[in-house]
C-alpha cells in the first residue's frame, strides 16, 4: 500500500477519485432513499405505483429477451455458417433496426395500425367502413409491445452472437465438424454453450433498454416501473426517489443474474482470429434462410423506415419551421457538449486506471460499467435530488437564492455523463490497454510526464477509438428520451422530446416523423463507421 | 560516482522474494550486465532502477543523488534514466527523426542527424518504424534513449530478439555506440556470450539473490559455485572420495576443454561424438563420468591418459 502511494501520480489519482465520487453521488442518494424515505411519501407511492408495474416490466423484459434471442441468435447463426442469397447484405443490415429507438418504432407501428393510419384507410376505401372496423385490431397491448422491443433491440444479440460464432468458437466448430457432427448438433452442443457469455451480454442489454424505456410504454398505456416513476415524480420527489431506488435494486438483481449466468465461463478467444468456412445452401433451403433473415429486417427496419419517410414527405412543409430548426440545433449542440465532457472524463478515468494498475482498477471499471445498466429516468431522479440539494446549499450559505442547478443544461449534461460514461469508457480502456505498455513507459523514461505521454503518445495511437467512442456517445445522447424529458430546462425541446411530444401529446405520429428520421440517420452513423473501421482493420 | 544500489528488496507476498538484499555499485561509463535465468529477478531489478516498480526496502543513488529510498521515489520521468525495451517500443505514429527527437533536451549535444549517423542509419530520418528491420529499430531505440542524454542507460534483453547470424556483430556495434557516448549502462541478459562481448562487469542473479559479481573473465575462471560455473559453460563437477584423489579437494569443477591429454589419470572412453570444432568424449574415471573435448577421435573402450592443469581447477570444496 505504502509502496503504491509512494509511486502514485497523486494529481491523476485525485482527479480520478473526485470524478468517480461526483458520478456516484446520484446513485448514493438513490440508495440512501431506500432507508430514509418518510412515511408520507411511502403512502403516496402506494397510490401512484400500480400493482401490475412489476409484473408488466418483468413480462416485457422476458418477451423481448426471448424473442430477440431467437431473432438475433438465429440470424447470426445463419449469417456466420451458411451461404445463401443476400447473406452479405444481412450480415451488416441486420444491425440497422438498432438505429430506430424503441419508442419511435412503437409510435410508428401504432400509427400504421391506428384508425386514421394507412392500413385502415386502405381497407376502408376498398371494402367499406364495416369491414375496416371488423379488421381493426388493437396492437396497443403488452405482448405486442414486447415484440416491438424485440424488433428494435434484437441487433444487440445479433451483433454479439455474430462475433462469438464467427471468431471465438471458430476452431471448436471446425474440430466438431472434423469429428463428424452436423450443423444443428454443432449449434446445440458447441456454439451455443461456448457463446453463452456473449448471448447473455446481448440479452442483458436488451432487457436494460426495455427497463429504460418510457416513451413506448407510456404511449401504449402499459404501466411499468418507469412510467410509474414519471407519475410519482409529478407528485412527490421523495416517493420518486424511493421508487427509483427499488428499480435500481431490480436492475442490480438482473446484473447479478447475468454474471451468474455467465458463470466462471470467461471463454477466451484462444485461437487467433480465424473464420469458419461457410457451408453453401442450395435451392429451397437457401431461400428459406434468406426469408428467415428478411423477417426481422423488414419488420424491424424496412417497414417503419418507409412509413416514416412517407409521413415525413407529407408533413415536412408543416413541420419544417423555425421551431424545428432551433430544436435540431439544440439537440446537436447538447449532444456535442455532452460528448466532449463524457469522452474527456472517460479518458481521464481510463488513463488513471492504466497508470495505477494496482489501484483496485477493476472495481472502478465495474462501477463505471454499471452506470449504463441504470435506466435514464432513475438517474434523472437521482440527479434531480442532487441538484435540488445543491441549490438548497447555495441558498443556505450564499446570499443568492434561486435554482442554479435544477433545470440547468449543466445538470442535464451531468446526468448524461452518469448514464453514458461506460459507453465511452469501455472502448477507451480497451484501446489504452492495447497500446503496448512499453510505449507509455518509454515516453516516461524519456522524461515526459504522464499528461504529455497521454497527449503525444497514447492519444495519437487512439485516434480511431476516440472517434468511435465519441460517435457512440453522441448518438446515445441524441436518442435518450426519459432522462431528457425529466431534466431538460423549461421549454427546451430536443429531437427526441419533440418526437415524443408530437406522437403522444399532440397525437400525430406522422408529424413526429421528421424528427424521428433525423434521429435514425444520426443513429446510422455508427453502424457505417464501425463496419468501415472493421473492414479497414482486416484489410491491413 | 555512477550507480549505487543498497539492500534492494522486493517481495511478492509473504516469503516470496523477487529480490532480496541486492547491493552493488558501478563507476561512470561502465557497462554492467545483469545475468540470470528467467524468474531470477533481473528484469524486476531493471524496472526498479528505471522507476516503474518500487522496492520494499533499500535505496538507489545515481550520480550522488538519491532517486529512491523508503520515503521518496522519483517518478521515472524525473530520474534521467533511459530504458530501451525488449520490443524497442518505437512510437509507430512518429517517424525515426521524431522518435529520436522525442526526449531531446534544449540545446542537445548532438542533432538527430548526428544520432542517426552515430547508429549507422544516416538519411533514414523520414522513415517510419515499421519500415525498418529489427536490428535497425533497435539502434533507433538506443539512439532515442541516448539522445535524451541520460545519466544511465538501461537495456532489457537487448540481444534476445535478434537472429543468431547478426547477433555477434550487433553486440560489437551496441557496445561501441554506448562507449562513444561515455554513458553508464546496465543491460539484462540470460546469455553469457552477451556478457563476455559487451560487459565490463557482470552480476549473476538467481532466485532474487546476487550470487557473484566481477568481470566476465573472472566469473568464467573463478565462479563462486557450481551454478555460476554451469551458466558460463559446460563443466564437469566431481565430488567425494574420487575428487580428493584427483585434486585433493572435496569438490571441484573442470571444464571439458581444459582437460588435456597427459599422464596423470587413465580412463576408459564410453562414447565419442563429433561436435564440429572438437570431439566430445565421455570418459569413465574410476566410476566418475567426465566430458573431455579432444582434437582427435577415439574408439569406445579405448583407454586414454589425461591431466587436469592446476590453474584450471575450480575449487568448489565449500559446497560439499
The model carries a pTM of: 0.82
Partners of residue B78 in chain A, C-beta under 8 Å: 447
Shortest CB distance from A446 goes to which of B52, B56, B148? Answer: B148
Compare CB distances from A447 to B54, B72, B103 and report the shortest one's residue. B103
pLDDT tens-digit map of B144-196 = 999 999 999 999 999 888 888 888 888 999 999 999 999 999 999 999 999 99
Q: What is the mean pLDDT of residues B49-71?
A: 90
Contact yes or no for B290/B283 (Cβ under 8 A):
yes
Q: Are B122 and B130 in contact (CB under 8 A)?
A: no
Judge whether residue B100 has pLDDT over 80: yes
Q: What DSSP line would sit under B38-92, residue for residue?
A: TTSSHHHHHHHHHTSS--SEEEEEETTEEEE-SS-B--GGGTTEEEE-TT----T
Distance from CA of B143 to the nearest CA of A (A): 11
Give pLDDT, residue A275: 57
Instruction: In whole angstroms, give the CA distance from residue B268 to residue A19.
Output: 79
CB-based contact B224:B212 (threshold 8 Å): yes
Instruction: Specify the pLDDT at position A506.
Output: 77
Pick from B54, B76, B80: CB nearest A6: B54
- Write the pLDDT tens digit of every residue in A328-338: 998 999 999 99
Name the DSSP letter for residue B317: G
A473: nearest Cα among A465, A482, A461: A465
| Residue B245: band (very low, low, confident or very high) from pLDDT cuts 50, 70, 90 | confident
Residues in contact with A283: Cβ distance below 8 Å, sequence separation at least 6, in sequence order? none
A442: nearest CB among B71, B81, B85: B85
Strand partners, B238: B252
Query: Does the distance separating the beta carbons of A443 and B145 come in below 8 Å?
Result: no
Residue of A nearest to B57 (CA): A3
Beta bridge partners of B261: B306
- Partner-chain contact B93 A460, CB within 8 Å: yes
- Confirm if B36 and B50 have CB atoms less than 8 A apart: no
Instruction: Report pLDDT for B280.
Output: 92
Residues 6+ apart with CB under 8 A from B207: B17, B39, B40, B41
- CA–CA separation, B142 vs B161, rounded Å? 14
Q: Are B259 and B290 in contact (CB under 8 A)?
A: yes
| CB spacing of A445 vs B75 below 8 angstroms | no
Chain mean position to CA A398 = 40
DSSP annotation of B293: E
User: Higher-confidence residue: A171 or B37?
Assistant: B37
- The C-alpha cell at B98 is 521524431
First to last CA, chain B: 39
The Cα B83–Cα B186 span in angstroms is 10
For the four alpha carbons of A72, A74, A75 and A81, in that order, the dihedral sign comes to positive
What does the alpha-carbon distance between residue A100 and residue B306 come to, in Å, rounded to a whole number?
Answer: 90
Using DSSP, state whether B288 is helix, strand or coil: strand
Apex CA A375: angle with CA A372 and CA A381, to 5°?
Answer: 120
Residue A18 φ/ψ, nearest 5 degrees:
-60, -45
Domain ranges of chain A: 51-227+278-318+508-540
Which uninterrupted H or E stretch holds B185?
Answer: strand B184-189
* C-alpha triplet B84, B89, B93: angle, nearest 5°: 140
DSSP state for residue B259 in the 8-state scheme? -
Q: Check A436 against B87: CB less than 8 A apart.
A: yes
Using the CB atoms, write b or e for A8-18: b if 16+ within 10 Å: bbeebbebbee
Q: Are B279 and B294 in contact (CB under 8 A)?
A: yes
Contact A7 B54 (CB under 8 A): yes
In this structure, the number of other CB atoms found within 10 A of the CB of residue A463 comes to: 11
* 8 A C-beta contact, residue A286 and residue A84: yes
Which H or E run includes B175?
Answer: helix B164-180
Tell me the CA distances in angstroms from A253 to A45, A102, A208, A240, A258, one per residue in order.
22, 23, 12, 20, 9
Round to whole Å and give the CA distance between A498 and A511: 10
Q: Across the strands, what pairs with B155?
A: B84, B187
Q: Which residues of chain A have pLDDT under 50?
A: 1-4, 267-273, 537-540
**Count, residues in chain B:** 320
> Are the beta carbons of B54 and A3 separated by less than 8 Å?
yes
Mean pLDDT of B7-25: 83
Which DSSP category does B277 fall into? S
How many whole angstroms separate alpha carbon A407 and alpha carbon A268? 46
The neighbour count for residue A124, using CB atoms within 10 Å, is 18
What cell does B308 get?
587436469
| Interface residue ranges in chain B relative to chain A, Cβ cutoff 8 Å | 50-52, 54, 56, 71-73, 75-83, 85-87, 89, 91-93, 102-103, 105, 144-145, 148, 154
User: From 2.40.50.100, 3.40.50.720, 1.10.3720.10, 1.20.120.1230, which CATH number describes the A51-227+278-318+508-540 domain?
Assistant: 1.10.3720.10
Chain B residues touching A464 at Cβ < 8 A: none
Write out the three cell numbers for A88.
Answer: 452479405
B262-320, pLDDT tens digit by residue?
888 888 999 999 988 899 999 998 888 899 998 888 988 999 999 888 888 898 888 87
Q: Which three cell numbers stand for residue B268?
A: 576408459
- On the 0-12 / 13-18 / 19+ scale of CB atoms within 10 A, B30 is middle
Give how far A446 is from chain B: nearest CA, Å: 5
Rounded Cα distance, A442 and B142, in Å: 11
Q: Hey, how many other C-beta atoms are within 10 angstroms of the C-beta on A195?
A: 25
Q: Are A225 and A208 in contact (CB under 8 A)?
A: no
Interface mutation vs chain A, best among B62, B85, B129, B140, most A CBs within 10 Å: B85
Mean pLDDT of chain B: 89
Q: Which pLDDT belongs to residue A269?
A: 45
Give residue for cell 521518496. Answer: B72
Query: What is the spatial distance between Cα B40 and Cα A323, in angstroms, rounded to a whole number?
Result: 72
Q: What sign for the dihedral angle of Cα B255, B256, B259, B260?
A: negative
Q: Which sign does the torsion angle of CA A298, A301, A304, A306 carry?
A: negative
Tell me which residue of B254, B227, B225 sits closest to B238, measured CA to CA: B254
Interface touch A445/B81, C-beta < 8 Å: yes
d(CA A174, CA A162): 16
Nearest to residue A427, comparing CAs of A378, A397, A469, A455? Answer: A469
Residues of A in contact with B72 (CB under 8 A): 6
Chain B closest-CA separation from residue A465 CA (Å): 15
Angle (nearest 5°) at CA A496 between A495 and A498: 65
Structural element, H or E, at residue B273: strand B260-274
Please indicate whether, in this complex, the C-beta atoms of A443 and B102 are within 8 angstroms of each other: yes
Residues 6+ apart with CB under 8 A from A189: A176, A181
Judging contacts by C-beta atoms under 8 Å, the chain B residues touching residue A6 are: 54, 71-73
Chain A residue closest to B85 (CA)?
Answer: A438
What are the helix and strand counts (H, E) for chain B? Answer: 9, 17
Pinpoint the alpha helices (H) of A301-408.
Answer: 303-319, 322-355, 361-371, 376-397
Task: List the single best residue of A437, A445, A464 to mutate versus B (max B Cβ within 10 A).
Answer: A445
Task: Report the run of H or E that residue B152 belongs to, with start and end.
Answer: strand B152-156
A356 to chain B: closest CA residue = B52
The DSSP output letter for A164 is I
Relative to beta strand B57-62, strand B65-68 is antiparallel
Please answer whether residues A183 and A222 qualify as being in contact, where contact means their C-beta atoms are separated by less than 8 angstroms: no
Grid cell in block for residue A33: 432513499
Nearest beta carbon to residue B89 from set A9, A436, A447: A436
- Give the pLDDT of residue A164: 80
CB atoms within 10 A of CB B280: 16
Q: Complex ipTM, two decimals?
A: 0.81
Q: What is the DSSP string of A379-402?
A: HHHHHHHHHHHHHHHHHHHSS--S
B144 vs A6, A9, A446: nearest CB:
A446
For residue A454, the chain B residues in CB contact (below 8 A) are: none
For A442, the closest of B78, B83, B105 (CB atoms) is B83
Chain B positions touching A461 (Cβ under 8 A) are: 91-93
Amino acid at each position: 500500500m505504502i509502496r503504491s502511494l509512494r509511486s502514485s501520480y497523486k494529481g491523476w489519482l485525485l482527479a480520478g477519485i473526485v470524478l468517480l465520487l461526483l458520478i456516484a453521488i446520484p446513485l448514493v442518494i438513490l440508495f440512501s432513499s431506500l432507508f430514509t424515505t418518510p412515511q408520507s411519501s411511502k403512502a403516496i407511492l402506494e397510490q401512484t405505483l400500480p400493482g401490475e408495474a412489476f409484473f408488466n416490466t418483468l413480462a416485457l423484459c422476458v418477451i423481448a429477451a426471448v424473442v430477440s434471442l431467437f431473432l438475433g441468435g438465429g440470424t447470426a447463426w445463419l449469417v456466420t455458417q451458411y451461404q445463401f442469397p443476400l447473406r452479405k447484405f444481412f450480415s451488416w443490415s441486420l444491425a440497422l433496426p438498432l438505429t430506430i429507438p424503441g419508442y419511435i418504432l412503437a409510435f410508428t407501428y401504432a400509427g400504421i395500425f391506428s384508425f386514421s393510419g394507412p392500413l385502415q384507410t386502405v381497407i376502408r376505401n376498398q371494402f367499406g367502413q364495416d369491414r375496416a372496423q371488423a379488421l381493426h385490431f388493437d396492437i396497443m397491448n403488452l405482448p405486442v409491445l414486447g415484440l416491438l422491443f424485440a424488433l428494435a433491440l434484437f441487433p444487440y444479440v445479433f451483433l454479439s452472437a455474430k462475433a462469438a460464432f464467427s471468431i471465438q468458437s471458430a476452431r471448436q466448430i471446425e474440430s466438431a465438424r472434423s469429428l463428424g457432427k452436423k450443423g444443428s448438433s454443432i449449434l446445440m452442443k458447441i456454439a451455443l454453450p461456448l457463446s453463452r457469455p456473449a448471448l447473455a451480454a446481448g440479452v442483458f442489454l436488451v432487457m436494460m433498454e426495455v427497463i429504460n424505456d418510457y416513451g413506448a410504454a407510456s404511449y401504449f398505456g402499459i404501466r411499468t416501473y418507469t412510467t410509474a416513476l414519471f407519475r410519482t415524480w409529478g407528485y412527490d420527489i421523495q416517493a420518486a426517489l424511493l421508487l427509483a431506488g427499488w428499480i435500481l435494486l431490480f436492475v442490480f438483481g438482473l446484473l447479478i443474474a447475468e454474471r451468474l449466468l455467465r458463470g466462471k465461463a470467461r471463454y477466451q478467444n484462444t485461437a487467433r482470429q480465424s473464420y469458419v468456412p461457410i457451408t453453401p445452401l442450395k435451392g429451397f433451403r437457401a431461400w428459406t434462410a434468406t426469408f428467415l433473415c428478411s423477417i426481422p429486417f423488414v419488420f424491424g427496419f424496412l417497414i417503419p423506415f418507409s412509413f416514416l419517410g412517407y409521413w415525413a414527405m407529407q408533413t415536412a412543409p408543416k413541420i419544417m419551421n423555425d421551431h424545428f430548426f432551433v430544436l435540431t440545433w439544440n439537440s446537436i449542440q447538447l449532444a456535442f457538449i455532452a460528448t466532449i465532457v463524457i469522452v474527456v472524463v472517460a479518458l481521464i478515468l481510463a488513463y488513471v486506471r492504466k497508470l495505477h494498475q494496482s489501484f483496485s482498477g477493476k472495481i472502478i471499471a465495474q462501477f463505471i460499467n454499471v452506470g449504463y445498466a441504470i435506466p435514464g429516468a432513475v438517474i434523472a431522479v437521482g440527479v434531480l435530488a442532487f441538484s435540488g440539494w445543491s441549490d438548497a446549499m447555495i441558498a443556505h450559505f450564499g446570499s443568492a437564492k434561486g435554482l442554479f442547478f435544477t433545470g440547468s443544461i449543466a445538470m442535464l449534461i451531468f446526468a448524461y455523463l452518469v448514464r453514458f460514461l461506460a459507453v465511452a469508457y469501455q472502448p477507451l480502456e480497451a484501446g489504452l490497454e492495447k497500446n503496448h505498455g512499453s510505449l507509455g513507459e518509454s515516453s516516461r523514461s524519456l522524461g515526459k510526464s504522464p499528461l504529455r505521454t497521454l497527449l503525444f503518445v497514447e492519444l495519437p495511437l487512439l485516434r480511431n477509438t476516440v472517434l468511435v467512442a465519441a460517435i457512440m456517445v453522441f448518438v446515445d445522447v441524441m436518442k435518450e428520451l426519459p432522462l431528457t424529458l425529466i431534466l431538460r430546462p423549461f421549454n427546451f425541446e430536443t429531437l427526441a422530446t419533440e418526437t415524443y411530444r408530437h406522437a403522444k401529446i399532440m397525437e400525430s405520429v406522422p408529424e413526429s416523423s421528421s424528427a424521428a428520421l433525423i434521429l435514425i440517420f444520426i443513429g446510422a452513423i455508427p453502424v457505417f463507421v464501425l463496419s468501415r473501421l472493421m473492414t479497414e482493420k482486416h484489410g491491413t | 560516482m555512477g550507480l549505487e544500489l543498497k539492500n534492494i528488496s522486493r517481495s511478492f507476498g509473504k516469503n516470496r522474494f523477487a529480490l532480496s538484499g541486492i547491493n552493488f555499485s558501478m563507476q561512470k561509463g561502465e557497462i554492467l550486465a545483469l545475468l540470470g535465468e528467467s524468474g531470477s529477478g533481473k528484469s524486476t531489478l531493471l524496472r526498479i532502477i528505471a522507476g516503474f516498480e518500487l522496492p520494499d526496502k533499500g535505496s538507489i543513488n545515481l550520480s550522488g543523488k538519491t532517486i529512491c529510498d523508503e520515503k521518496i521515489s522519483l517518478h521515472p520521468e524525473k530520474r534521467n534514466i533511459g530504458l530501451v525495451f525488449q520490443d524497442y517500443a518505437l512510437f509507430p505514429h512518429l517517424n525515426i527523426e521524431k522518435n529520436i527527437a522525442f526526449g531531446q533536451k534544449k540545446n542537445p549535444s548532438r542533432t538527430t542527424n548526428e544520432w542517426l549517423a552515430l547508429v549507422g542509419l544516416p538519411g533514414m530520418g523520414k522513415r517510419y518504424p515499421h519500415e525498418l528491420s529489427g536490428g535497425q529499430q533497435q539502434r533507433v531505440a538506443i539512439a532515442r534513449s541516448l539522445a535524451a542524454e541520460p545519466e544511465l542507460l538501461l537495456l532489457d534483453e537487448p540481444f534476445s530478439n535478434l537472429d543468431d547470424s547478426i547477433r555477434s556483430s550487433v553486440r560489437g556495434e551496441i557496445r561501441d555506440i554506448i562507449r562513444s557516448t561515455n554513458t553508464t549502462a546496465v543491460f539484462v541478459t540470460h546469455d553469457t556470450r552477451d556478457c563476455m562481448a559487451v560487459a565490463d562487469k557482470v552480476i549473476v542473479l538467481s532466485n532474487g539473490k546476487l550470487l557473484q559479481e566481477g568481470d566476465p573473465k573472472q566469473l568464467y575462471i573463478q565462479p563462486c559455485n557450481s551454478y555460476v560455473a554451469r551458466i558460463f559453460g559446460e563443466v564437469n563437477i566431481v565430488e567425494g572420495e574420487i575428487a580428493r584423489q584427483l585434486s585433493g579437494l572435496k569438490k571441484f569443477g573442470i571444464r571439458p576443454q581444459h582437460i588435456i591429454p597427459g599422464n596423470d589419470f587413465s580412463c576408459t572412453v564410453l562414447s565419442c561424438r563429433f561436435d564440429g570444432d572438437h570431439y566430445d568424449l565421455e570418459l569413465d574415471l574410476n566410476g566418475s563420468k567426465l566430458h573431455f573435448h579432444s582434437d582427435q577421435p577415439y574408439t569406445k573402450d579405448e583407454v586414454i591418459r589425461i591431466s587436469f592443469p592446476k590453474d584450471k581447477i575450480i575449487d568448489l570444496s565449500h559446497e560439499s
